[in-house]
Structure 1
Amino acid sequence: MPTAFTRRTLLAAAASAAAGIVHGQAAQRPLRITAIPDESPTELARKAAPLVRYLEQRLGVKVEFTPVTDYAAAVEALASQQVDLAWFGGFTFVQALQRSGGKAVPLVQREEDQKFRSVFITTDAGIRSLADLKGRTLSFGSPSSTSGHLMPRSFLLAAGVDPDRDLKRVAYSGAHDATVAAVASGKVDAGALNISVWDKLVADGKVDAARLRVFHTTPAYYDYNWTVHADMPPARREQLARAFTDLSAATPEGRQILELQRATRFIPTRVENYRGIEAAARSAGLLK
């Protein structure tokens, strides 16, 4: 018959084994990532695939990319910890910070995101400046897009053009490439979008440069970043951040990922970089 000491020893061993199993399961849980749907689902999946493979190799865990239906879903997924890592624009990061009660932590941004810009495009020869948009139709991207709505709206207001009062009609395409399509097809007179998407479409020959042109480029502002929830262990945060900052165009793998992410390199970022975005959102009445 087991003694009291033996029973205690067996119970302690069982508890230790159970804890080890739980710890092992937690360690093996996939890293779940998502991104705001600022481009077509096909393009987002193409950009994500090599990054997923790279992070699996660096972290030693399975990585799962989960697309979302809209910007709000990306914010909610990170705030409720349905995903561990999210690619946000500046405005969606600010929304996630608010929605999570201050628990959204920006890890890294592209070097380009320190001085990001938006462009206004048109096929109309009569549109040469922001003031010329009065009485015309204009498409933004998603209502929650930094570079496709918030900052273009902010710069329009600064130029004395109130989109809701001075334009004939304001539309929302939902994504940057969709904005280009709307302008190209004549659905709207002009559109505002992310400069890196525009440059990529031009470089790939997907824009009829004889018809579509940029008539205004905005001043620079901070934009996109990769964000995690504050509950992620510091060691994992550091591991993730290092994986991004170690990406280099000097290696075939790094070059492919950076090209798809439209990045020269990734650098650390911080909450303070997005205070200007928050102020612009509040000023425009888009954040309460």
Structure 2
Amino acid sequence: MFKRTFALAVGVALSLSAAFTHAADVLRVSAIPDEAPTELLRKFKPLGAYLEQQLDMKVEFVPVSDYAAVVEALAADRLDLAWLGGFTFVQAHLKTGNAIPLVQREQDAVFTSKFISADPAVKSLQDLKGKTFAFGSISSTSGSLMPRYFMLKEGIDADTFFSRVAFSGAHDATAAWVQAGKVDGGVLNASVWDKLVASGKVDTDKVKVFATTPPYFDYNWTVRGTLDPALTAKLKAAFLALDPANPEHKAILDLQAASRFIETNAENYQGIEQAARAAGLLK
């Protein structure tokens, strides 16, 4: 009986060891769902292949249902690396106490949001008073938090200023809503707006940008604080090594809407945390 029990214990131990070894050989990556899931996966595939080559390990993209799910997964160590908006990073950092922002795109240090409308009479936010308006996700930095913050600084409370406020859930959906006349105006991040215009997915004869926010810090690639420091260092080096002069690297950077990646740190997002507290989104 002792031999059978010992053998069973060894078997369980080996199985658990194999499971942990397997988990350690896979880098689990996700992103806030600020665009359609198919688009997020399309953008990630070449980057994932590059990271597999640089890290010599499997890289797996794990889609999530909403912004909060990314924060929860990082906190529970179910994700290793995630593409986060500024506010989502603040939430993850506060929840985990150790989430580490690795890199951001150059433009993420001076990011902006675009206010749009299909009504040619709309020249400013004041022209939308009493009309309908769409934000992206309620947890979006560029699609909700920072535009609201800058509006409040101008004395505009979105919840009382507009007749109805809606949340589209994603930047591309906001543009589609405005173009289809579902809402009179909306706001989305500048990067997605530029991509939609370049790809012809928004008709600029119908939809116009009538205002742009002041700049702020936004997106970054964040790792869980419990990730092996050596792997964290290799990840950062891999992102920083992406060179726009290399055609293969440029294809990856273009899909990420990045000229290149630069280092970042948690202090860069203190302004977003202050804005979130001012808006009552953080206690």
With normalisation by structure 2, the TM-score equals 0.92
SS of residue in 1 equivalent to 2:90: helix
Name the structure 1 match of 2:79.
83
| Aligned with 1:69 (options 55, 65, 76) | 65
Deviations 1:43-72 (A, max 9, x none): 101001001100000000000001101111
Please say if residues 244 and 266 of structure 1, whose CA atoms lie closer than 8 Å, have aligned partners that are also in contact.
yes
Show the counterpart of 2:42. 46
SS for the counterpart of 2:53 is helix
Task: Output the aligned Cα RMSD.
Answer: 1.6
- 2:277 alignment partner in structure 1: 282
| Residues 130 and 159 in structure 1, CA contact (< 8 A), matched pair in contact too | no
Which 10-residue stretch deviates more, 123-132 or 238-247? 123-132
The residue type equivalent to 1:231 in the other structure is T
Residue of structure 1 aligned with 2:143, choices 143, 148, 162: 148
Deviation for aligned residue 1:253: 1.8
Contact 1:140/1:193 (CA < 8 Å) preserved in 2? yes
1:260 matched to 2:230? The reply is no
Q: Indicate whether 1:35 and 2:31 are aligned.
A: yes
Aligned length: 269
In structure 2, C-alpha distance between the alignment counterparts of 1:37 and 1:93, rounded to whole Å: 14
Instruction: Report the CA distance between 1:29 and its aligned residue.
Output: 2.2
Which whole-Å deviations, capped at 9, do the CAs of 1:71-117 have from their partners, x for residues lacking one? 111111111110100000000000111121x1111000001100000
> Structure 2: where are the runs of 5+ without partners?
1-9
Deviation at 1:234, TM superposition (A): 1.4
Residue of structure 2 equivalent to 1:121: 116
Offset of 1:28 from its aligned partner?
Answer: 5.0
The answer as to 2:171 corresponding to 1:169 is: no
How far is 1:26 from its partner? Answer: 5.9
- Which residue of 2 is the match for residue 7 of structure 1? none
Instruction: Please tell me the residue identity of whatever aligns with 2:54.
Output: R
Task: Please state if 1:205 is matched with 2:210.
Answer: no
Paired residue type of 1:153: R
Query: Residues 167-217 of structure 1, C-alpha deviation per residue, up to 9 Å, x if partnerless?
Result: 100000000000001001111000100101000111111111111000000
Partner of 2:243: 248
Q: 1:130 aligns with which of 125, 131, 148?
A: 125
3-state SS of the aligned residue for 1:188?
Answer: coil
Which is higher, the Rg of structure 1 or of structure 2?
Answer: 1
Alignment-mate amino acid for residue 28 of structure 2: R
CA distance in 2, matches of 1:163, 1:266: 34
- Structure 1 residue 223 corresponds to structure 2 residue 218: yes
Secondary structure, in 3 states, of the residue corresponding to 2:169? coil
Q: Percent identity?
A: 60
Residue deviations 1:118-172 (CA, integer Å, cap 9, x gap): 0000011221112222111100000000000000111111111110111100000
On the 8 A contact 1:109/1:268 being kept in 2, the answer is yes
Amino acid paired to 1:130: L
Q: 2:176, 2:202 within 8 Å by CA — same for their partners in 1?
A: no
Contact kept, 8 Å, 1:86 with 1:226, in 2: the verdict is yes
Distance 1:29 1:222 in 2: 33
Which of 89, 94, 103 is equivalent to 1:93? 89
Are 2:134 and 1:139 aligned? yes
Instruction: Return 110-119 or 123-132, whichever deviates more.
Output: 123-132
Counterpart-to-counterpart distance in 1, 2:39 and 2:114: 20
Give the superposition deviation at 1:25: 2.0
* Higher alpha-carbon deviation: 82-91 or 248-257: 248-257
Aligned partners of 1:156 and 1:64: how far apart in 2?
A: 39
**Structure 2 partner of 1:187:** 182
